[in-house]
Chains A and B, each alone.
Chain A
Amino acid sequence: MLDADVEVDRREFTVRAALQVAPGERLALFGPSGAGKTTLLEVIAGLVLPRRGHIELGGRVLTSTAPRVRAVPPWQRRVGLLRQNPGLFPHLSVRDNLCYAPSASPSEAELSSLASLLGIDSLLAAMPARLSGGQAHRVALGRLLLARCDTLLLDEPYTGLDASLRRTLTHLVASLVAERSVPTILVTHELTDAQAFADRLAVLDRGTLLQVGAPDEVVLRPASRRVAELVGYLGFVPSGPTVAGVHPDRVIPGAFGDRGLVLTGTVTASRPAGAGWEADLRVGDTAVTCRLSDKPPASDSEFVVTIVDPPYFGSDGSRVGFAPASDSEAGTKQVRQLSLRRSRQNRPAWHRQETGATHPS
């Protein structure tokens, strides 16, 4: 178990976070650039000393600031850190890089088995300069695995690699972590990477942990408007004292009042996106982006869409409830349906369809 509760001063803000990661668990630390994610990893790795904090790994105290500052040096922590730059030693061959750690003394069979698992068995004699980005990451990962680290910290390791390679490496790391039962933290600002990898997602912004939960829960039930913004909600439609968060992927064409919030807007632009389409709608004074499987109507056309199960946020930015949806939790369900109708003056106006449900509070 990795247990970290730390406060680290940075120039603009203080990073405060408490994280527990169980053996074999994969936690993704997600947030924008400069949120303090890497700082947290560096504190766990012992490269940065926190102002206050306590870090334990497998029952060993790595850092403690009370009653006095104690910190196990990085070389005794058994913490593996993989960064965007894999950090292979350029003067050593792949084989020597893999076996670099003093604790790594693999038998030839173990080495070839791992190399084969990582797909680098034909590269053992090569120098790092000859490797592609993906191969270098595999070697760096193998080096950490052979070092028998007690935890793995992955600091945006796949930035710069193409999508399919990222997916392959993500699955590879996930399976290896599960097999070896080490707590693992992935730092990323790509939500798709975080979702593909993690059992749990922690959202960090300006040094503060905003929400920790299952990846789907964080995305579908953001705890605050800020979390919603970070996980990809691109529109916030006013609704009385609250606003409804609109995630582009949670929009379906047509009016389905029983599934969420029905909006009528004007298409301002549309473009192909992946295998479908992306459309910008103007709903009142609010711009809403939605991704659709079919081509939306032409620009300036009226378009009715349903925002499936949107979260609602109060004026302080905290979540106050959800629209009804078949997969909503009964206990937290707050029901509201809104639709935008054109007024007689052809100006959009909010009109509430009362369904006997309660208003978010």
Chain B
Amino acid sequence: MSAFVSVAGTGIIWLALLGPVIALFTHLSWHAITKSLTAPGALDPLLISVESGLVTLGVLFVICTPLAWTLARGKLPFPRVWETGVLCSLLLPPLVIGLLLVFLVGPYTPIGSLLAHLHQSATNTFLALVIAEVYESAPYYILGAQSAFAGVEPRLEQQAGLLGDRPRRVFRRVTLPLAAPGLAMSLSIAWARAMGAFGAVVIIAYNPMGIPLQIFTTLQETGLASALPYALVLLVVALPLPLAAYIWSARAGRRRRG
């Protein structure tokens, strides 16, 4: 009896959490999908979102992976201060991030001037979109990657060093493979956040328009029914990577368990 109650309770919560996705599929018609997505230029926002998302992932991996490793190994002075900084960027509402980015990379700031000098701009450009996505998704990746690195036993790295590996080689042969499942999960979550980034994007990168803004403008201009196909597209693009990362991490865990 108690088993039945626990299964039923879990099922109800699970369905409630998935409710919005279920609602999406129940309110979508094949006709509406084809009509919306076959219109000229309908898939341009999708391309822009995928491109900016991939660039964002690259930036996060290159810049934030060493930071996450350093945080995990406690090699920085005052580690709590660094961690609090990362947490702050996670806790800031995306809309506020967008507003503040105007003061950081806007046209009348030193960075903005420097970019202008290089004939670039961080307002309403692809670069601005990437910056907004990086700011919105970085904390998710850093905290996840930090946890993944923290899960690697330092004694294994020490052992690899004693067996003759230089630190860089230890990182490549031991640290990275052992942290890889966690890194993949964090990166895929960051990808989902980047693809769905809206708050900061709407302030500094209204153009070029990615999928989230396409949904927003379609909703405003032609209503809910027309926006739903784009919501489906966003889900289809954003979700496979996290799911693949989840399956891959589970397989890696099974392989390690022999």
Contacts and interface: CB of A to CB of B under 8 A. Distances in A.
Contact of A126 (B177, B178, B258): B258
B155 interface: yes
Interface in A74-118: 74-81, 83, 85, 87, 89-91, 100-104
Contact of A77 (B162, B169, B173, B257): B162
B164 A81 contact: no
A87 B153 CA distance: 9
A295 B113 CA distance: 95
B163 A91 contact: no
A89 B174 contact: yes
Interface size band for A: 20 to 34
Interface string B191-206: 0000000000000000
Interface in B124-169: 153, 155-156, 158-167, 169
B31 interface: no
B158 A74 contact: yes
A129 B256 contact: yes
Contact of B166 (A75, A87, A129, A144): A75
Given A74-B158, A87-B155, A89-B174, A101 B256 contact: no
Interface string B171-183: 0011001100000
Contacts of A307: none
B27 interface: no
Contacts of A76: 164
Which one of B155, B158, B159, B178 has the greatest number of beta carbons of chain A within 10 Å?
Answer: B159
Contact residues of B: prevailing secondary structure: helix
B255 interface: yes
Given A81-B159, A89-B160, A90-B178, A102 B165 contact: yes
Which one of B153, B164, B169, B258 has the greatest number of beta carbons of chain A within 10 Å?
Answer: B164
A143 interface: yes
A217 B257 CA distance: 47
B163 A83 contact: no
B164 A103 contact: yes
A15 interface: no
A85 B155 contact: yes
A81 B162 contact: yes
B18 to A, nearest CB: 34
B174 A74 contact: no
Contacts of A90: 178, 256
B58 to A, nearest CB: 25
A75 B164 contact: yes
A73 B169 CA distance: 14
Interface string A262-298: 0000000000000000000000000000000000000
A48 to B, nearest CB: 11
Contact of B164 (A47, A91, A130, A147): A147
B97 to A, nearest CB: 37
A127 interface: yes
A147 B174 CA distance: 17
Given A127-B257, A129-B257, A100 B160 contact: yes
A76 B161 CA distance: 9
A74 B164 CA distance: 8
Contacts of B167: 75
Contacts of A55: none
Interface in B234-258: 252, 255-258
The 3 closest A-B pairs by CB, nearest first: A127-B258, A130-B258, A87-B159
30 contacts: A74-B158, A74-B161, A75-B161, A75-B164, A75-B167, A78-B164, A79-B162, A80-B162, A80-B163, A81-B162, A83-B155, A87-B155, A87-B156, A87-B159, A89-B159, A89-B160, A89-B174, A91-B255, A100-B173, A101-B163, A101-B164, A103-B164, A104-B163, A126-B258, A127-B255, A127-B256, A127-B257, A130-B257, A130-B258, A144-B163
Given A91-B252, A147-B164, 5 more contacts: A75-B167, A81-B159, A87-B156, A90-B256, A91-B177
